[in-house]
A and B are shown apart, each in its own frame.
Chain A
Amino acid sequence: MSNPDSAVSSVDSTLAPALLSAHGLHKAFGGIHAVENVEIQVPQGRIVGLIGPNGAGKTTLFNLLCHFLPADQGRIVFDGQSIESLSAHTIARQGMIRTFQVARVLSKLTVLDNMLLAAPHQTGEKLGNVWLRSRQIRREERQLRDKAQTILECVGLSHMTHTCAGALSGGQRKLLEMARALMADPKLILLDEPAAGVNPTLINQICDHIIQWNRQGITFLIIEHNMDVIMSLCDRVWVLAEGRNLAVGTPTEIQSNPQVLEAYLGH
């Protein structure tokens, strides 16, 4: 288990090398073992699903992967680099961007500012540069604004550019959060229930966007309860139950897996 590449090949030799792989992750809150010896592999350029009954530890696993919570034990390798000791913002800067289960937008900032914030490596984010390189900052801001506008048009929020993000509906917030993640030039986006609380038409739109962005080279790891979404998007699905790995396979395999059915239906 020490070499992540061999672990990937042991799971499925036909897949691309893993962009993100984690082994032996443990996390306990007091006496409750939220995540126990969990493994997960996300191959480069794929869309991977993560499902499991409520309380299975999916969101906790997300938090461990991007270090919003420190793991008690375990190894995480992202893009060939061990990241379990890095801080959350460093991991995000390396190209692993997460969204939240309940969409978190900066409600008092405009939609555009929400987008601009996400852009990585901005000159104007350093105080000294605000003094010394104002022209470069202005140029960058113009470019970023164009880029943000393009992404917003793509997700259908371009008419809201100058509205405060707090005025958006729940579904629009989900879209904004995804658009914002895209603005950060990520290699991998972790989506926590992108379809939760969203109407069916918008769900289809969200799925289309995910597929489109995936074609452009972004890898996805998606937590979702909506099996239609999982079936239509994912190449591979990992199942968690009670904080442990239960199964892994293609969506069709998972749907007919008796253990998974038992975990969900409780027979």
Chain B
Amino acid sequence: MVGYLVSLAIFTATYALFSLGLNLQWGYTGLINFGHIAFMTVGAYTTVLLSLNGVPLVLAVLAGAILAGILGLLIGISTLRLREDYLAIVTIGVSEVVRLIALNEEELTQGTRGVYGFPLPLASLNPNLPLRLGMIVILTMICGVGVWQIWRWLGHVPQGADRSVPLRRAALGRQRLALGGYLLCLGGSVTALWWGFAMNTGFLGLAGASAIAALGCVYSRFSHPLKTASHQSWLTHSTIIAVNLVLGLVLMVYWAGVMGLYDYTYKAGLMWLLVVILGFTFWQLQRWVHSPWGRVLKSIREDEEVAKALGKNVFRYKLQSLMLGGAIAGIAGAFYAWQLTFINPDGFIPLITFQAWIIVVLGGAGNNVGTLLGAMIFWVYDAATRFLLPSLVTLDDARLGAFRIMVIGLLLIVLMMWRPQGILGNKDELTLGR
């Protein structure tokens, strides 16, 4: 269980990092990049091949990120002067070209046979107790900041539903009260799930969890400050429930991470490293997008003619955004390779680009917290359906796989109809005219 949760956390964090790059490019700058996987491929292969040839891992990752950035530069120089749709076409083409090069340059990449046996970070580390405790403390701090961010966001939820200030203020206090109730329900459902897994009775756990979740829903209905059963408030509450489920997952994963770090394993070390890198990247990205530099990016997304008329070098900013997003995806690629400990070109298909798009759209474009949340929801969905669906739906594996993807499509359609701005997106922004 601990091992599985740690793996899940690594996948989630890798995809979160990867999607943060896309969010910078598309969510903030409006560049339609359908070939994001190309950056990951370049990052993964560069890191792995360099480190196989004796280059220190840190330098190898940096080289991977820089090469991915240079790929962004090349794509940018050749296409950014065109309209957005052409950028979309060129990027998806480039991603396939990169993959085909990796497939056919067998002397370099060993083609379909793949690359394996490459050095892994922190693999030979055998930390003593203080070091392990130190790692745990850092992990705790990062998780704490993350949960605090979500908590702070929850305080702002009612703003979308009703705009009158006094009501909102009154709502805020009770919202926190309601949150306490949710967390209680949440603790119950997590315990039930855990118990269900531990006793190998998935159904029982599921039943318990859903019963408690249902209780939570009822509770939310009655604790709603405005006592209205409006569409909006229902949405707000379902969002809060979703967020709470994610919070629960964070707690579970955090616990697994602590256990993993305490009895040190390679995967736990990798997870720790990844969480640190993700936290740092997230923090830097937040700084960038809230700086005047980020303001220029957003203005380009909104209307690049205006940015141009106000003296901003639009082309240069687009290049920077594409390169930075690419470099972040390159780093994500290194972790992707380290997690799998084996890479071949089949792991870098365009599907992964679109999974990143799902994550960004789900969380709300132009919102880094939303992207993190989107990644978590995506992987929770993936994990939940992988284990629960076989016992609920009697289909063979191939059909089940297709079914899961169908449900993702359905969920996205529902989301686009009811909450087109994404989970954390700002509804006000969408209703504005041009």
Interface of A toward B, CB cutoff 8 Å: 66, 68, 87-90, 92-93, 97-100, 104-109, 113, 116-118, 120, 122-127, 130, 134, 137, 141, 164, 166-167, 180, 184
- Judge if B402 is at the interface, Cβ distance under 8 Å: no
- Judge if B238 is at the interface, Cβ distance under 8 Å: no
* Shortest 9 CB-CB contacts between residues of A and residues of B: A166-B432, A124-B292, A92-B311, A93-B311, A106-B302, A130-B291, A108-B429, A107-B432, A122-B292
Q: Out of B293, B324, B429, which one reaches A164, CB within 8 Å?
A: B429
CB-CB nearest in chain A for B284: A131
- Judge if B85 is at the interface, Cβ distance under 8 Å: no
Interface window among B112-120, B274-282, B312-320, B368-376: B312-320
CA A173 to CA B306, docked complex, whole Å = 13
Contact (Cβ within 8 A) A106 B303: yes
- Judge if B84 is at the interface, Cβ distance under 8 Å: no
- Judge if B295 is at the interface, Cβ distance under 8 Å: yes
**Nearest-Cβ distance from residue A79 to partner chain B, whole angstroms:** 14
CA A130 to CA B311, docked complex, whole Å = 19
**B169 surroundings in chain A (CB, below 8 A):** none
CB-CB nearest in chain B for A140: B292
Q: Which residues 252-296 in B have Cβ within 8 Å of A in the complex? A: 287-288, 291-293, 295-296
For chain B, what secondary structure do more than half of its interface residues adopt (helix, strand, loop), or is it mixed?
helix
CA A141 to CA B291, docked complex, whole Å = 9
- Judge if B227 is at the interface, Cβ distance under 8 Å: no
**A126 surroundings in chain B (CB, below 8 A):** 293
22 A–B contacts from the bound complex (CB under 8 Å)? A89-B311, A92-B309, A97-B310, A106-B299, A106-B302, A106-B303, A107-B433, A108-B298, A116-B292, A117-B312, A120-B311, A122-B292, A124-B292, A126-B293, A127-B324, A130-B291, A130-B293, A134-B287, A166-B429, A166-B432, A167-B428, A184-B310
**B176 surroundings in chain A (CB, below 8 A):** none
**Additional A-B contacts beyond A106-B303, A125-B296, A180-B310 (5; CB < 8 A):** A66-B309, A92-B308, A117-B295, A118-B310, A166-B429
**A87 surroundings in chain B (CB, below 8 A):** 313
**B291 surroundings in chain A (CB, below 8 A):** 124, 130, 137
**B305 surroundings in chain A (CB, below 8 A):** 68, 100, 104
Which of B306, B311, B432 has the most CB atoms of chain A within a 10 A radius of its CB? B311
Assess A137 versus B302: contact at CB under 8 Å? Given A108-B432, A117-B307: no
Interface of B toward A, CB cutoff 8 Å: 287-288, 291-293, 295-296, 298-299, 302-303, 305-314, 320, 324, 428-429, 432-434
CB-CB nearest in chain B for A128: B293
CA A201 to CA B104, docked complex, whole Å = 71
CA A105 to CA B433, docked complex, whole Å = 10
Assess A92 versus B293: contact at CB under 8 Å? Given A106-B298, A106-B302: no
**A108 surroundings in chain B (CB, below 8 A):** 298, 302, 429, 432
Contact (Cβ within 8 A) A137 B292: yes
Contact (Cβ within 8 A) B432 A164: yes
**B320 surroundings in chain A (CB, below 8 A):** 127
Assess A88 versus B308: contact at CB under 8 Å? Given A127-B320, A164-B428, A164-B429: yes
**A93 surroundings in chain B (CB, below 8 A):** 311
Which of A87, A123, A127 has the most CB atoms of chain B within a 10 A radius of its CB? A127
**B434 surroundings in chain A (CB, below 8 A):** 107, 166
Contact (Cβ within 8 A) B308 A68: yes
CA A141 to CA B288, docked complex, whole Å = 14
CA A180 to CA B310, docked complex, whole Å = 9
**Nearest-Cβ distance from residue B145 to partner chain A, whole angstroms:** 19
Contact (Cβ within 8 A) A97 B309: yes
Which of B291, B305, B312, B433 has the most CB atoms of chain A within a 10 A radius of its CB? B291
CA A158 to CA B389, docked complex, whole Å = 56
Assess A89 versus B303: contact at CB under 8 Å? Given A108-B432, A130-B287, A166-B434: no
CA A202 to CA B324, docked complex, whole Å = 45
**Nearest-Cβ distance from residue A32 to partner chain B, whole angstroms:** 22
CA A93 to CA B309, docked complex, whole Å = 9
**B312 surroundings in chain A (CB, below 8 A):** 89, 117, 125
Contact (Cβ within 8 A) B432 A106: no
**Nearest-Cβ distance from residue B431 to partner chain A, whole angstroms:** 8
CA A130 to CA B295, docked complex, whole Å = 12
Contact (Cβ within 8 A) B288 A130: yes
**B293 surroundings in chain A (CB, below 8 A):** 124-127, 130
Contact (Cβ within 8 A) B288 A109: no
**A100 surroundings in chain B (CB, below 8 A):** 305-306, 309
**B292 surroundings in chain A (CB, below 8 A):** 116, 122-125, 130, 137, 141
